[in-house]
Amino acid sequence: MTAIPYDRRTAEDYRAAREVPRAGLAAWREIIGKEARLTPGGTVLDVGAGTGAFASAFHEWFGVRVLAVEPAEAMRALIPSAEGIEVLDGRAESLPVADGCADAAWLGSVVHHLSDPRAAARELRRALKPGAPVLIRNVFPGRAARDLRVRYFPATERAISTYPSVERICEAFDTAGFSRVALHSVPQESAPTLAAFADSIRRDADSKLRGITDEEFASGMADLRAAAEAGPAEPATSWMDLLVLS
């Protein structure tokens, strides 16, 4: 897929348009707690931390120290500064951290950006303590039907079809000694209602929606508004995968 230049405007747009409200992430908190068994004082490596939504969440949810590694300066600038969150310039393929420093690694919507997934896997093997999990949150080709944007704007699957599949990521990580532990489909509440979700959509700030035609976008918005009217109390629930390797 085409690399996105994360400049200041794109970074601010990303934060405004793509960050899921913390309250909508309860199921993520629960499944991460089960899979990673993090304890206060532990260390999580957030690779491709973006604007830091998950770095802050991990710190608050589990009391861990977060090493937030992010290559784009404009994204790093928006990571909330907090004791317990260390912001580092770097990329997955060459992590700026010590050997064996982390109890878990988190890659949220990052694997489709990696230039060399095998190099990233080698680096994660080096940076993690033995047995520590790699938690990968992503949409994967062939598994995205319950993503809200795909549900209402099916043409967004064109972009997702270029992402690495679960199998490809597992193969790349296998070369560094990681095995697949679990694959969960996890819900998140993107907005309290479908109407609120429709109101929050900013096509100019969303690369997947920019990648579809005007007709496809208009048709999706009409379907979404109709669904919001038919089910005014229905929450805007979207699903993504959590792939766990260890």
Which chain residues interact with ligand SAM by CB under 6 A? 6, 47-50, 53-54, 70-72, 75, 91-93, 108-110, 113-115
Residues paired with 91 in a beta bridge: 94
Which helix (H) or strand (E) segment holds residue 181: the answer is strand 180-191
Contact 69, 48 (CB under 8 A): yes
- Say if residues 138 and 111 touch (Cβ distance below 8 Å): yes
Instruction: Please report how close the Cβ of residue 234 comes to ligand SAM at its closest, in angstroms.
Output: 25
Whose Cβ is closer to ligand SAM: residue 53's or residue 155's?
53
* Spatial separation of the C-alpha atoms in residues 173 and 162, rounded to whole Å: 19
Strand 134-138 with 236-245, pairing: antiparallel
Q: Which residue, 114 or 194, has its beta carbon nearer to ligand SAM? A: 114
In the complex, the smallest distance separating the C-beta of residue 230 from ligand SAM, rounded to whole angstroms, is: 31
How far apart are CB 124 and ligand SAM at their closest, in Å?
11
CB of 24 to ligand SAM, least distance (A): 13
| Structure tokens given for 239 | 């699903």
Specify the residue, 91 or 149, whose C-beta has the smaller distance to ligand SAM.
91
Nearer to ligand SAM, 12 or 93 (CB): 93
Name the residue nearer to ligand SAM (CB basis): 149 or 228: 149
Residue 3 φ/ψ, nearest 5 degrees: -70, 140
238, containing H or E segment: strand 236-245
Residue nearest ligand SAM, CB atom distance: 50
Measure the CA–CA gap between 60 and 26, rounded to whole angstroms: 13
In this complex, which beta carbon is closest to ligand SAM, that of residue 109 or of residue 200?
A: 109
CB of 15 to ligand SAM, least distance (A): 9
Name 46's bridge partners: 68, 106
* Nearest distance in Å: CB 227, ligand SAM: 26
Kindly state the tokens that stand for 187: 């819900």
